[in-house]
Amino acid sequence: MPYFDAASSVPLHPVARQALAASLDEGWADPSRLHREGRRARLLLDAARETAAEAVGCRPDELVFTPSGTGALHRGIAGALAGRRRVGRRLAVSAVEHSAVLHAASAHREEGGSVTEVPVDRRGRVSAAAYEEALTEETALACLQSANHETGTVQPVAEIAGLCAEAGVPLLVDAAQSLAWDRPGGGWSLLAGSAHKWGGPPGVGLLAVRKGVRFAAPPPADEREQGRSPGFENIPAIVAAAASLRAVRADADAVAARLRPLIERVRAEVPRAVPDVEVVGDPVHRLPHVVTFSCLYVDGEALLHALDRAGFSVSSGSSCTSSTLTPSHVLLAMGVLSEGNIRLSLPPTPEESVEADVERFLQVLPEAVREVREQLNAPAVPRERAAGYDAAVQDAAVQDAAVQDEGTNHHAARYEEQRTVPAEGARELTVDALGTLCPMPVIELARNFDDVPVGGVITVLADDEAARVDIPAWCEMRGQEYLGAQGTRYRVRRLS
Nearer to a copy of itself, 106 or 353 (CB): 106
Least separation, in Å, of the C-beta of 9 and a copy of itself?
5
Which of positions 149-168 make contact with a copy of itself (CB under 8 A)? none
- When binding is defined by CB under 8 A, the residue of 15, 19, 29, 297 that contacts a copy of itself is 29
Contacts with a copy of itself, 78-117, as mask; x by CB under 8 A: ---------------------xx--xx-xx--xx------
**How many Å from the N-terminal Cα to the C-terminal Cα in the chain?**
45
Least separation, in Å, of the C-beta of 227 and a copy of itself?
10
Nearer to a copy of itself, 21 or 250 (CB): 21
Q: Alpha-carbon distance 195 to 27, whole Å?
A: 18
Nearer to a copy of itself, 226 or 430 (CB): 226
Least separation, in Å, of the C-beta of 113 and a copy of itself?
12
Nearer to a copy of itself, 309 or 489 (CB): 309
Q: Contact region for a copy of itself (CB under 8 A) — 315-323, 397-405, 477-485, 488-496?
A: 315-323
- When binding is defined by CB under 8 A, the residue of 230, 335, 340, 441 that contacts a copy of itself is 230
Burial class of 280 by CB neighbour count within 10 A (0 to 12, 13 to 18, 19+): buried
Contacts with a copy of itself, 120-149, as mask; x by CB under 8 A: ------------------------------
Q: Which residues are catalytic?
A: 320
How many chain residues are in contact with a copy of itself, going by CB under 8 A? Answer: 68
Where are the alpha helices (H) located in 284-325, listed in sequence order? 300-309
Contacts with a copy of itself, 186-205, as mask; x by CB under 8 A: --------x-x----xxxxx
Q: Alpha-carbon distance 259 to 250, whole Å?
A: 16
Give the three-class secondary structure for 153. Answer: strand
Are 264 and 271 in contact by the 8 Å Cβ rule? The answer is no
3-state helix, strand, coil in the chain (%, to 5): 45, 15, 40
Are 362 and 388 in contact by the 8 Å Cβ rule? The answer is no
Nearer to a copy of itself, 221 or 423 (CB): 221
- Strands (E) across 281-414 are located at 290-295, 341-345
Between vectors from CA 72 to CA 213 and to CA 176, what angle results, nearest 5°?
A: 105
Least separation, in Å, of the C-beta of 32 and a copy of itself?
7
Instruction: Work out the number of other CB atoms within 10 angstroms of the CB of residue 167.
Output: 18
Which of positions 286-305 make contact with a copy of itself (CB under 8 A)? 301, 304-305
- When binding is defined by CB under 8 A, the residue of 86, 212, 223, 496 that contacts a copy of itself is 223
Between vectors from CA 429 to CA 426 and to CA 430, what angle results, nearest 5°?
A: 155
- 192 beta partners: 174, 207
* 61 is a contact residue toward a copy of itself (CB under 8 A): no
Least separation, in Å, of the C-beta of 19 and a copy of itself?
12
Least separation, in Å, of the C-beta of 234 and a copy of itself?
4
* 237 is a contact residue toward a copy of itself (CB under 8 A): yes
Phi-psi region of 289 (alpha: psi -120 to 50; beta: other; left: phi over 0): alpha
Q: Contact region for a copy of itself (CB under 8 A) — 2-10, 260-268, 286-294, 453-461?
A: 2-10
Of 54, 91, 51, the residue nearest 73 (C-alpha) = 91
CA torsion angle 307 268 275 337 (round to 10): 80
Question: Letter for the amino acid at 180?
Answer: A
Q: Contact region for a copy of itself (CB under 8 A) — 15-23, 129-137, 207-215, 466-474?
A: 15-23
Between vectors from CA 250 to CA 245 and to CA 256, what angle results, nearest 5°?
A: 100
Which of positions 423-462 make contact with a copy of itself (CB under 8 A)? none
* 254 is a contact residue toward a copy of itself (CB under 8 A): no
Are 107 and 84 in contact by the 8 Å Cβ rule? The answer is no
Nearer to a copy of itself, 118 or 304 (CB): 304
Instruction: Work out the number of other CB atoms within 10 angstroms of the CB of residue 19.
Output: 28
Kindly list the residues in this chain that would bind a copy of itself in the complex (CB under 8 A): 1, 3, 5, 8-12, 17, 20-21, 24-25, 28-30, 32-38, 67-71, 74, 99-100, 103-104, 106-107, 110-111, 194, 196, 201-205, 219-224, 230-237, 301, 304-305, 308, 312-315, 321, 323
